[in-house]
Structure 1
């Protein structure tokens, strides 16, 4: 079964979106991408087969509004972009004194995605230990709506003069997910802090490299699949994909223990050998098949 851009689990509940972490990889060309497909058409090709993608370039440097607009125009109207937060904020500033850096990030063009703008992912470095006060101060600065982000973006410094994007089409809620990698984040204060702000605690499958956190802290779930046996390298077999499909559907439907239905975002980051897009298409097909006829595909 081909994956549908409108992947959802069976029955009432949240929306499930499945995609990849990034889309521009040489190893995908002539494999996932047909031989001869021009590079500028790669995102459109992926957008016809999946419902979301995680923008990685925003982690490494501030992108430009023209790039965000071009990406938005390359995909179907119902497609969603997750945006990875700047490593300058998370890895270099290590969440300290980041007001201006946050303003520059939100002024760089992310708001040009309009209705295609999905959650923001803030991935923390493994050497950043849990500091409740520091984390609470950082999260309190994150904009909770596009109007809030617009106001924050207006505080950008001179580096964004002449290239800032400060427009929104309407005021919409914004979502944020946190992916910590230090074991000290296994602290009961963390879920309480995230719940207070509606921030999702990302679930990350990292082949055992970093701890896995899975507390329910928001009205959506954010899953990153980095590889089950080899970090960034190994693919997921049929049994593993069925297990993740079942987990995504459970999150979307909620459970009898009081956890309500949640929207679910799933991103495959096992791209070193080109497994990510194939695994994403397979997982989306499993979930869509379950929704169509009550069976796993």
Structure 2
């Protein structure tokens, strides 16, 4: 029997005041929230990196506070994707990589690059950006050493050579283009399957892993997933992990010609009204762990 890919179901972020006394037990110290969440899910997205550069000590602490088999997804900075809109990304990328990601060691999972609504597909710009992204931790360390002098606290080494994965989340219809899918396959980057009422929900397989973000398909960041909807996602995840055909969705490019088992990362980002941890836990149960 062929072993299925690794399945990791988790949540997007962990620092939410409404979760205290609900998902988090009453009286749990805020500094213990990551440890508590990481004992229940095998992966969590780090959101703070989207809003600003973090410190190497923070990444080291997060690694120390999570189980041995835990993996973080790290969100790329909006300065690159939303402010610069991929214009002159070389120095900002080096600064980001030098901020401490590599201190996560083997717990460093995919890097998520989320683009804003209104950012249209430009093949040349996207191709250049994808080519710039490091494909392993040694290349990331080399790039990190090129950080700007203003970055006073940096980390520019890796404890081991490991592959580095990148996932691209789009929020504009112009990306519904076979040329975009081809570009992602060329560079081995995953197209994020984003479940939302607002943006394209594409399920093209473009890398050796699958990355999903469930934002709420009826009300952005708020609506939950009922039992039938979770059954649907469990079926998709199982097919992806086992390398079985999966056509239950929208696709922009040609079907994957070489089905294979894939690792699957799926995060619930419907964080309002306590939906995310409850839905993630329910999906984990349906998959028998994940």
Instruction: Please report the TM-score for the alignment, with normalisation by the length of structure 2.
Output: 0.94
1:281 Cα deviation after fit: 1.0
1:234 to 213, 219, 223: 223
1:11 Cα deviation after fit: 6.5
Alpha-carbon displacement from aligned partner over 1:65-110 (angstroms, at most 9, x marks no partner): 1111111111100000000000000000001101000000000001
Alignment partner, residue 184 of structure 2: 194
Matched, 1:173 2:163: yes
Superposed, which structure 2 residues align to 1:117-196 within 5 Å? Answer: 117-161=108-152, 163-196=153-186
Superposed, which structure 2 residues align to 1:27-176 within 5 Å? Answer: 27-161=18-152, 163-176=153-166
Alignment partner, residue 265 of structure 1: 265
Distance 2:14 2:122 in 1: 34
2:209 to 220, 235, 240: 220
* Larger relative contact order (Cα-Cα within 8 Å, sequence gap ≥ 6): 1
Distance 1:159 1:83 in 2: 22
1:274 Cα deviation after fit: 1.3
Cα RMSD for the two superposed structures: 1.3
Distance 2:107 2:170 in 1: 26
Alpha-carbon displacement from aligned partner over 1:142-197 (angstroms, at most 9, x marks no partner): 00000000000000001213x00112110100000000111000111011111111
Instruction: Please report the TM-score for the alignment, with normalisation by the length of structure 1.
Output: 0.92
Gaps of at least 5 residues in structure 1 are 1-9, 292-297
Alignment partner, residue 279 of structure 1: 279
1:258 Cα deviation after fit: 3.6
In structure 2, do the counterparts of structure 1 residues 255 and 265 end up closer, same or farther at CA, with 3 Å as the change threshold?
same
1:47 Cα deviation after fit: 0.8
Distance 1:118 1:190 in 2: 23
Alignment partner, residue 253 of structure 1: 242
Distance 1:47 1:88 in 2: 28
Partner-residue secondary structure (3-state), 1:177? strand
Deviation above 6 Å: which 4+ runs of structure 1? Answer: none
Partner-residue secondary structure (3-state), 1:160? coil
1:212 Cα deviation after fit: 1.1
1:271 Cα deviation after fit: 0.4
Gaps of at least 5 residues in structure 2 are 246-256
Partner-residue secondary structure (3-state), 2:203? coil
Alpha-carbon displacement from aligned partner over 1:189-212 (angstroms, at most 9, x marks no partner): 011111111100000001x21111
Distance 2:86 2:232 in 1: 35
Distance 1:80 1:14 in 2: 15
